Amino acid sequence: MEISNVFNRSKNLFPPILKDCSQRLLVNPLTWVLVVIMLLPCFLGLWFYYEFSDERQFEEVDGEKVYYDNNGGLLHVELREAFLNLSSLFIVKFIGVLLAIMFSSELINEEFNRKTMQILRTTPIMSLEIIFYRYVTGVLCMFGILASSSIIMYIVIMLGSGIHGIIEELEILWLVIKIVLFESIAFLGIFCLISAYFERPFLLGIVYWIIWEMIVSGTQYQQITVSHYLESILFDGLKDIGWSVTAEDYGLTKIVNNEVVNIATEPITAMLVMIGIGLGTVVWGARGLGNRQF
Amino acid sequence: MSEIILNQVTKNYGKVQGISEISINVDPGLTGILGPNGAGKSTMMKMILGLARPSMGTVTVMGKDPFTDWEQRNKIGFVPEFDCFYEHMSGLDYVSYFLRMHNYEKQEAEEMARASLSELGLEDSMERKIRTYSKGMRQKTKVARATVFDPEILIMDEPFQGADPSTRHLLMNKMKEWSEKGKTIMISSHILHDVENLTDRIILINNGRMLASGDRHEIRKLMDHIPRQIKVSPIDKANLRILAKRMLDEEWVRAARVDEEQGEILLETDRAETFYLELPKILQKEKIAVTKINSDDDSLDSLYDKIVGGSQWK
Amino acid sequence: MKEKAQVSERFREFKAELTSRPSIVMGMGLRGFLRLLSLKNQWILALVALIWLWTLGFYVLLSTGDYPCQNLEFWDSSDFKRCQPLVYYNDLGLGGVRLFLVTLAAISSSGLIANDMTDKSLHLYLSRPISRLDYLIARFIPVFLLLMCVTALPNLIVYVNQWGEAGLEFDWIKNHKWLLLDILILGSFYSASYSIIGLTFSTAINRESWAAGAFFLFVYGSAIIIEIFYLVMLESGVGDDRILLLSVIHLLDIIGFYIFGTQPFFTAFGLEGIDIADIEVFGVFILIIGSCGLFVNWMISQMEANK
Amino acid sequence: MIEARNVIKKYGAVTALDDFTVDIPEGKIGILGPNGAGKSTFVKIALGLIRTTSGSITVLGEDLDRNTVDIRRKIGYMPEHDCIPNSMTGVEFLIEMGLVTGMSLQSATQRTHEILGHLMMGEEKYRKIEEYSGGMRQKIKLAQGLIHGPEVIFLDEPTSGLDPKARQEMLETINGLTEVSGTNVLLSTHILQDVETVCDHVIIVNNGKLQMQENVKKLMQRQTDVIQVRIGGSTEDFVKQLKKSGITATSGGRGLHVPYVNDKTFEQIVDSAVKSNCQLYEMERTTVTMDNVYLEVVD
């Protein structure tokens, strides 16, 4: 009964929230500052392209130009490393988290500050609905921004190795986009929870990120961090593509009885855990909002 | 049955006292809530809205607990004291956005919002961004948002603050209209004159305690230990002293003062009911025509002053 | 004798005797200066002390070693205390002191107008019998005096010390009157420029801490970026010295060198000799200061007109 | 006190004051008008804070075009919004304002304490302003306008946000101001009852034009043709009795409205009350209120 009601309502509730919240997120100057910072390495890529485009050597295979560097290595193999490093270290670990903190605070905490949350609390909808639709909008926006930035970055960086290089390494791009999606789902949920309970989500979000994610993620008990699951997906994806990577490169090991043990999680499990984290934190956040006194 | 029932409600925010042991029943119609700043008016309103949960006691709105029962919130409208806008929206967007939250279709929501806003005199500016609105327009938008879905109960916290007299007049007329339709309206205001014009039913709060509630004339009657001063002015000034002398013969008149300049007699009584019943009879018997029987003590100002101002320590 | 009983008014009519506008402005400025130096502003005091230590320490350390100096005509000696230490004063102003000077300017100027704007007491000041320009001058004086304290004052002490070394002869001062003038001009030039730019930031960003940060980042960020850019261009051989004019610090330094009449040389990279026409340098300078002044004036006039 | 001749003020395309001419007498003057009618613009022009587009304005006999700054020595201003620094104590702030106006330190200090005493501020004047309540902040704002003993003081919404008691105090203070020190008051407000209780004169502005200028006392004495009656006991009986004497009472607002014909009507009301054995709480011919006047003029 209840659930069908909620479902029926969703077609009236979700569109305006989607419209308003995505507008608010996309018009926010801070978002664009982050996007610009995120795209700065692209210019570096462009610069490199123009600087060294004369020095590349190429041969034609099936009418396509395959580029080599001076030492005879495939150029796109070198460039894909640059892209992967940039996206996994810079976009996922730095900009992505900042964007999640910013979005969650804009979506939820800002409404407390503007006191529109009080009005929303006097409308006949559950607090879960208030928070869930906002969360979904946030995930969509964040995923959209991160994914499109990744694509732009991919194209710009791989430009050096010609069309052939761009097509050859598309798998890496899909992998990055997948990671970005799950990152949005998990981190946004956690920061929404923080926003729903506390007054200063920026500070607490960064404290959580530094103390929890950065310090715990390399240790014995790293399964309690989101970073672990993200790294697992990355590690497994790269293995699938056929890179020679070890779990140690991604810190997915722990030491038991002086032996190094691989603790990388299965990608399917990792994805399910992240979706679970996202939904769980949203439900928990909704409980916090429902019990909140004004 | 009363729409809103508060039973021995106490609310503390941490160590800060909000309200303490308030019991009232609010019936349909207009009720004014008065009290100094920080007396607990807003806290009481939030309790009724289900925004806060009482520390002790129970709140019942239309038979249900407002904090947990969110489904009946479409019967309660709230006009907060503070600004609560998405500044980037237009007034029309803002009202229809919240209508959608009340589960209305897009088309329907927009039409209702348009109708409600133009009823409140915002036809020309409802497409403008709220950012550019003046104080009065903001108040009107807030009221439009709270009333557009036709709620049974309307809670208004300082709806007149910062509004110019025309806006205030318009809002008051609307409120009277709604209360005649049988809705329950609770309104708090610092401007006693406005409340006096709107309604006789008041609730007086100070320091989180309820000091008085009910019809203000009834309240005044209960306070008969404070003598009441009544002004009477005869048409013929020659009758001033005669009437004063005659009135002093009655045992329930404690004092009389003649004010020649204003042409009136100031009578002081501690049995007001008898006074009001007997005075016309005496006037008729003595054949003295008067143009005015009036008491400054009857105004809300003086009532407020007497209850909030001094009597805490008595 | 018995005194007569009397009753006086509770609140009497009052006509204040009011002073003239210049003295109001001076008073406001001086009170602001004293407030900056009060014990509450520990950071400002610490920075002032640091700059003084730096200057005097520099002087004491250098007086023993050899330092490039133009020999004086009277004493044919390469002893630092006896030579005309033009280069010294320049280096001092542009070396380490520069970092602290900008920091000090950022901290001290950021609050002056920003605080008035956040709590809106600006409206009250403007409804007093002073014009907008008077208000700006009154807010400018404290920073100016504070910066003078750390630019001109220590150098003057060094100057006096040198005079003492030279035997306190009046002739020495007469021979070095241009040096004295240069010290004063350089000090007031730096102080005035930085205080005007600082006040601009204070007006534009009406949050004290943000204004200080923005001022600092703007001045230093632009200096670093332009220096790197300049180097890159120099190596590729397409360099144009005019690019240095885009950085506030470099612009002020170039003018500082003009004031001392020494060969313009520049930056930590030790590049020497730049080729820019005087008119360009001063043109850019006047443009920057003028636009800062106009901007502040415009911002405040906006506040008057609106609510 | 203030004379404005054909003042026009434009902000870009918006005309705030449109050929505004007024001659404001001395005393306590209330300025009324809807939002955006040009009240604040007029006050700011009179303060010399902004210049007119055209037209001339004279304050206290001095032409503002020539003398925008020095005229402020004779004027005090209390703005509408909160505009006092939180970091200072009340006394410090007032002395600073006095000094900025050009007083010497001694007279500023002495005057500060005198004013604060008059405004019934006790020990709290040595506390930080951030700890003050709304009423106290408002008092400090008023005090800073009075510090240099101005001949005119502009008050912009002095009672907004105050609770009834604080409002009462504020109004009494303003009322006392002219009596004690002869200061002229120019009061701009949205609360019409403030004007009724405080002012001698009222000016209504709308659409940048002067709509009305009238003496408040005269205005308030205008009587309407309605007698307000309030009855205890059975109202129905009373209405029936009145009907017998040929008078129809209508219920209005609070109580009954009885049309006034002549003085006989009062006697008939008294008779009816006796006959129906009711208490007669109130019987008075209603007068014009500021509300009526305002709505008549503005709408």
Q: pTM here?
A: 0.79
DSSP string of chain C, one letter each residue: -PPPP----SS---------HHHHHHHHHHHHHHHHHSTT-HHHHHHHHHHHHHHHHHHHHHTTS----BPPSSS----TTTSB-HHHHHHHHHTHHHHHHHHHHHHHHHHHHHHHHHTTTHHHHHTSSS-HHHHHHHHHHHHHHHHHHHHHHHHHHHHHHHHHHTTS-HHHHHHTHHHHHHHHHHHHHHHHHHHHHHHHHHHHS-SHHHHHHHHHHHHHHHHHHHHHHHHHHHHHT---GGGGGGSHHHHHHHHHHHHHTPPPEETTTTEE-----HHHHHHHHHHHHHHHHHHHHHHHHHHHH--
pLDDT value at residue C1: 52
- Rounded to the nearest angstrom, the minimum Cα separation between B36 and chain D is 5
How far apart, in Å, are the Cα atoms of D75 and each of C43, C128, C304?
Answer: 40, 8, 17
More confident residue, B255 or D252: B255
* Average confidence (pLDDT) over D259-263: 80
Chains B and A touch (3+ CB pairs under 8 A): yes
Q: Give the residue from chain D lying closest to C120, CA to CA.
A: D83
Predicted confidence (pLDDT) per residue in A126-165, tens digit: 889 899 999 999 999 999 999 999 999 888 888 777 788 8
Chain B residues with CB under 8 Å of A120 CB are: 101
Chains D and A touch (3+ CB pairs under 8 A): no
B106, pLDDT greater than 50? yes
How far apart, in Å, are the Cα atoms of B206 and each of A8, B9, B299, D241?
Answer: 46, 15, 19, 43
Element (H, E) at B222: helix B216-222
- Number of Cβ pairs < 8 A linking chain B and chain D: 116
The minimal CB distance from B80 to the residues A20, A115, A126 is found for A115
Closest C-alpha to A234, from A205, A264, A212: A264
Predicted confidence (pLDDT) per residue in B42-96, tens digit: 889 988 988 888 888 999 998 888 888 888 888 899 999 888 899 889 999 999 9
Q: Tell me the C-alpha distance between C49 and C32, whole Å.
A: 19
* CB hemisphere CA count around B72 (13 angstroms): 16
Q: What percentage of chain A has pLDDT greater than the value 70?
A: 97
DSSP 8-state secondary structure symbol assigned to residue D13: T
CA A73 to chain centroid, in Å, comes to 32
B118, pLDDT greater than 70? yes
Cβ partners under 8 Å of residue D10, min gap 6 = D16, D53
| CB-CB neighbours of A222 under 10 Å | 21
A93, pLDDT greater than 80? yes
CA D115 to chain centroid, in Å, comes to 21
> Which chains would you list as touching C if contact means 3+ CB atom pairs under 8 Å?
D
Do the Cβ atoms of A294 and B145 come within 8 Å?
no
Q: Is D175 helix (H, G, I), strand (E, B) or coil?
A: helix
Do the Cβ atoms of D35 and B168 come within 8 Å?
no
Do the Cβ atoms of C124 and D82 come within 8 Å?
no
Chain D residues with CB under 8 Å of B136 CB are: 34-35
**Which pLDDT band holds residue A177 (cuts at 50, 70, 90)?**
very high
Q: Tell me the C-alpha distance between C100 and C185, whole Å.
A: 20
How is residue C154 written in tokens? 């220590």
Chain B residues with CB under 8 Å of D166 CB are: 36-37
> Which chains would you list as touching A if contact means 3+ CB atom pairs under 8 Å?
B
Listed ranges A245-249, B303-307, C144-148, D130-134; the one with the highest mean pLDDT: C144-148
Chain D residues with CB under 8 Å of C28 CB are: 99-100
Q: Does A276 touch chain B (CB under 8 A)?
A: no
DSSP 8-state secondary structure symbol assigned to residue D131: G
Q: Does A12 touch chain B (CB under 8 A)?
A: yes
Q: Tell me the C-alpha distance between D126 and D145, whole Å.
A: 19
Full strand arrangement of the beta sheet holding D75-78: D75-78, D152-156, D184-188, D28-32, D201-206, D209-215
The minimal CB distance from D274 to the residues B192, B281, B289 is found for B281
Q: Are B229 and B295 within 8 A, CB to CB?
A: yes
pLDDT value at residue B108: 92
**Which pLDDT band holds residue D41 (cuts at 50, 70, 90)?**
confident
Q: Tell me the C-alpha distance between C32 and C29, whole Å.
A: 5
Chains C and D touch (3+ CB pairs under 8 A): yes
List chain C residues with pLDDT less than 50.
71-78, 80-82, 268, 306-307
Chain C residues with CB under 8 Å of D128 CB are: none
Chain D residues with CB under 8 Å of B291 CB are: 263, 266, 284-285
Element (H, E) at B176: helix B165-180
Q: Are B216 and B200 within 8 A, CB to CB?
A: yes
Chain D residues with CB under 8 Å of C134 CB are: 69
Query: Which of D53, D59, D82, D83 should we substitute to test contact with C (largest number of C Cβ atoms within 10 Å)?
Result: D83
Do the Cβ atoms of D69 and C21 come within 8 Å?
yes
Q: What percentage of chain B has pLDDT greater than the value 70?
A: 98
Q: Are B95 and B84 within 8 A, CB to CB?
A: no
pLDDT value at residue C161: 77
pLDDT value at residue C157: 80
Chain D residues with CB under 8 Å of C125 CB are: 100
pLDDT value at residue A140: 95
Alpha-helix residue ranges (DSSP H) falling in chain A? 2-27, 29-52, 75-85, 96-104, 110-114, 116-121, 127-158, 162-168, 170-197, 201-208, 215-216, 226-241, 267-291
Closest C-alpha to A234, from A152, A188, A177, A184: A177
* Average confidence (pLDDT) over A236-261: 83
Give one word for C239, left, alpha or beta, with left for phi > 0 and alpha for psi -120 to 50.
beta
Q: Does C303 touch chain D (CB under 8 A)?
A: no
The minimal CB distance from D35 to the residues B164, B235, B294 is found for B164
| CB-CB neighbours of A51 under 10 Å | 10
Angle CA B251–B252–B258, to nearest 5: 95
Chain A residues with CB under 8 Å of B71 CB are: 124
Q: Tell me the C-alpha distance between A143 and B193, whole Å.
A: 56
Q: Does B100 touch chain A (CB under 8 A)?
A: yes
Q: Is A32 helix (H, G, I), strand (E, B) or coil?
A: helix
Q: What percentage of chain A has pLDDT greater than the value 90?
A: 28
The minimal CB distance from D144 to the residues C16, C115, C124 is found for C124
- Rounded to the nearest angstrom, the minimum Cα separation between A1 and chain B is 13
Q: Are B190 and D164 within 8 A, CB to CB?
A: yes
- Rounded to the nearest angstrom, the minimum Cα separation between C124 and chain D is 7
**Which pLDDT band holds residue A100 (cuts at 50, 70, 90)?**
very high
How far apart, in Å, are the Cα atoms of B158 and each of A26, B89, B141, C163?
Answer: 35, 23, 14, 74
What domains are defined for chain D?
Answer: 2-216 (3.40.50.300), 223-298 (3.30.70)
A186, pLDDT greater than 80? yes
Q: Does D45 touch chain C (CB under 8 A)?
A: no
Chain B residues with CB under 8 Å of D296 CB are: none
Q: Give the residue from chain D lying closest to B35, CA to CA.
A: D163
Do the Cβ atoms of D33 and B164 come within 8 Å?
yes
More confident residue, C34 or B294: C34
- Rounded to the nearest angstrom, the minimum Cα separation between B223 and chain A is 36
Q: Give the residue from chain D lying closest to B306, CA to CA.
A: D165
Do the Cβ atoms of C13 and D181 come within 8 Å?
yes
Q: Are B11 and B54 within 8 A, CB to CB?
A: yes
Q: Does B22 touch chain A (CB under 8 A)?
A: no
How is residue C218 written in tokens? 């703007």
Chains C and A touch (3+ CB pairs under 8 A): no
Q: Tell me the C-alpha distance between C141 and C128, whole Å.
A: 18
Instruction: Give the position of tokens 């180097």.
Output: C231
ipTM (interface predicted TM): 0.74
Listed ranges A49-58, C40-49, D59-68; the one with the highest mean pLDDT: C40-49
pLDDT value at residue C86: 53
The mean pLDDT value of chain D amounts to: 83
Cα-flanking dihedrals φ and ψ of residue A70, to 5°? Answer: -60, -35
Chain C residues with CB under 8 Å of D96 CB are: 31
User: Which amino acid type is present at position B70?
Assistant: W
Do the Cβ atoms of D35 and B191 come within 8 Å?
no
Query: Which of B275, B283, B303 should we substitute to test contact with D (largest number of D Cβ atoms within 10 Å)?
Result: B283
pLDDT value at residue B98: 92
Closest C-alpha to B96, from B171, B159, B148, B132: B148
How many residues does this entry show for chain B? 314
Cβ partners under 8 Å of residue D5, min gap 6 = D21, D55, D56, D57, D58
Chain C residues with CB under 8 Å of D69 CB are: 21, 129-131, 134
Lowest-confidence range among A40-54, A98-112, D62-76? A40-54
